[in-house]
Structure formats: C-alpha cells, structure tokens
Amino acid sequence: MDDSTIMPPPERAAKTALGTSTVGSYIKADSILKSEIPKGRTLDFGSGKGLGAKAIGADTYEPYVKSEPKYNQVNQIKSNSYDKVTSLNVLNTIEPKARKEAVKNIGRVLKPNGVAIISTRGKDVEDAKIKTKAKDGYVIGKGEQARFQKGFTQDELKNYVQKTLGDNYK
C-alpha cells in the first residue's frame, strides 16, 4: 500500500452484508456444526443483516449493520459462552489488525471443545475491476462504495486461524 491509499472506514464492511442469498450457507454450516455438537448455543460472529443467523437460531454479534443484533460490542459476549460459532464471509472484509482481534474473540467466546465454522471470499477478490492494493488485500470500488477485501484460500485461512489462536484449534 502506498501512502496515498486511504482505507475505507471499518463500517464500510457492512456494504458486503448480503440478503437471503447466504441463508443456504448458514443451513449447511449449521448441519456440520450439529454433526459435531448436536446441542448447545450458536453465535453468528459478524452476522450482517442477521438472516442466516435467524435461519439457524443463532445469537448475533454485529457491530456495523443496523440489524438489531443481540450484541453490538464484542466485550458484551462472555468468554467460553458458546458451543458453536459461525463467521461466514466476515474476516475477508476487515483489515489485518481487526481481523486478528476477531479471530481471537471467536476463540475466546467458544467453550472448550467448541466448534467454529469460518469462511471467507477466495482469490476471486483479485479479479475485481476497480481495486487498489492496500495492507494485505485491496480496496475495492471507489467513493462511498469503497470497501476492504482480502481473499483467502482454504489453506491460507486455516493456517491464519491456527497461527492466531495456537495449536489448540484445528
């Protein structure tokens, strides 16, 4: 990133909050989570409009979208309070320092032996027509539409989470 690249404000990540098109991903994630832990509480970390969380009966954490989440500040969520966490296409929208904190908080709110499903956009981010290299990703779009995106391969995401949380997480 050169010094002239201005990062969009973090709340711009809300521009990526999709509607009903993501509900199917939540239902699939919930099925996987239930196969690991049949009962227990689920938190959707970065729930956007909350439609996916509603479909699976999850509590919601969302600091930016005006969706009436259960939590809008991460420190409201007690440590070791959730058996399962979903975080779908959230980490790719936030810059490196905030991303690291988000992953640490996902680990913090999970109960021991809890399970999280985390997904992000892939390398398709690099195919955006209007983009500027910024930090470890890109600012995509211009003006009020500009937002940060970082694509991950599955291996990159897995390695990132393990490095951030340590070997107790797989």
What's the pLDDT score for residue 15?
63
Local confidence band at 3 (pLDDT 50, 70, 90 cut-offs): very low
- Report yes or no: 76 and 120 within 8 Å, Cβ to Cβ: no
Dihedral class, residue 52 (left if φ above 0, else alpha if ψ from -120 to 50, else beta):
alpha
> What are 32-54's pLDDT values in tens digits?
999 999 999 999 999 998 999 99
Residue 2 pLDDT exceeds 50: no
What's the pLDDT score for residue 1?
41
Whole-number Cα distances in Å, 159 to 60, 69, 170: 26, 30, 9
Neighbour-count burial for 4-39, b at 16+ CB within 10 Å, e otherwise: eeeebeeebbbbbbeeeebbebbeebbeebeeeeee
> What are 47-74's pLDDT values in tens digits?
998 999 999 999 999 998 888 999 999 9
Q: Calculate the CA 96 to chain-centre distance.
A: 12
Domains of the chain (ranges; CATH) run 10-164 (3.40.50.150)
pTM exceeds 0.95, yes or no = no
> What are 119-159's pLDDT values in tens digits?
999 999 999 999 999 999 999 999 988 999 999 999 999 99
Local confidence band at 23 (pLDDT 50, 70, 90 cut-offs): very high
According to DSSP, the residues that pair with 82 across neighbouring strands are 110
DSSP SS3 for 127: helix
Segment (H or E) for 86: strand 82-88
What's the pLDDT score for residue 16?
65
Q: What is the mean pLDDT of the chain?
A: 91
Angstrom distance (rounded) from CA 90 to CA 149? 10
